[in-house]
Structures are given as C-alpha cells and as structure tokens.
Structure 1
C-alpha cells in the first residue's frame, strides 16, 4: 500500500523523533553520562514520560492505515496539525475541548 506524501513525511518525522527520544532516554540512565534522575544535564529538562509512547502509537496508526482520523469525533485531523504534531490523536476542536474540560 502506498502512503500519501503527507503521511510519508509525518512518518519520517515520527521515526526521527523516536530515535531522538530513545537516545535521550539512554542518556538518562544512571552511569550513562546523564544526571541519573531522568534529566540529562545538557538538556536541562526532563522528557515527558509519555512522549515516546505517543510517537509509537502514531507510527502504529500509520501502519494500520488509521493515521489522520480524530479518535474523539471520527473526523479528519487537519494536515497542518499533523505536520506540526504528527502524534496528535484528535483534531484541534476536540483537543481544545479536552483541554478545557481538563482545566475546569
């Protein structure tokens, strides 16, 4: 099956991000040159614990042909959103609603 160019680009971005996250996590192991507390000194901030899992889930959605569909409403996630946040699970409208619900 041939993926469209946007999906191919998003997949490349996700693969690159996954490699970077794996390398950063390897650097945070005790004795691996990092701080041992999950925060490598060179980066100055901890990695979000779920980021690698979200990237992996997006790669799985691509493999299954489900990439680009909002998990909340079933509509399409905008192309610009997917290029900015390829691991996005929801369209911008649903993500905004979810964020408002969580904050209030």
Structure 2
C-alpha cells in the first residue's frame, strides 16, 4: 500500500513536470543551417520545362544564375517560407505538396 502511494506520487509529479515545461524553440525564428528537406529538389517551371530551380541542403540555384549560398530561412506557417539571401533580397516560397511550389509573386509555379 505504501509502495503504491509512492509510485502514484512519482508518476503524478513527473506528469506535472512534463506538462508545465515551457518550450522556447520557435519555428518562426531565422535559421542559418540546412534548408528544410521538404522544399529540396529539382523543380521546373510548369509553363517552361527549361526554367529550373534547384534547392539543395545549402544553396538555391536558378537556371542561368549562380548559386546562392549563405542564406537564412524562416518558416512563416501554412507552407510559406522566406529565404533571405542578404543584400536586401528576400525570396518567398509557398510549398503546396511534394510536387508543387510557387515562388516570389506566386505566379511562378514549379513542379517536380
């Protein structure tokens, strides 16, 4: 009986400690590491197959342009990402599903 009370008290205290712990991480903060796996891949424009967008772990590259490294990114919620390349240039990306994204003005649609 005494052992049962002790075990019940420990479980109750542990549950209370877990449920009241504050989480300080925020998905809406800027990240400087790898880009999310969700948006990585080789994408091509839905209206022009030759216009390509390549997103890897550490860079973004459009067809005919040099790769952009050293970027930071932020998840804004509901599938929206903001990629910041510095030099006052931000790039907006909307992730619909694993086969479709849109960029900047959102009329640039890319598919896999």
Relative to the length of structure 1, the TM-score reads 0.24
Name whichever structure is richer in strand by fraction. 2
> Computing the radius of gyration over CA atoms, which structure comes out larger, 1 or 2?
2
Relative to the length of structure 2, the TM-score reads 0.22
Name whichever structure is richer in helix by fraction. 1
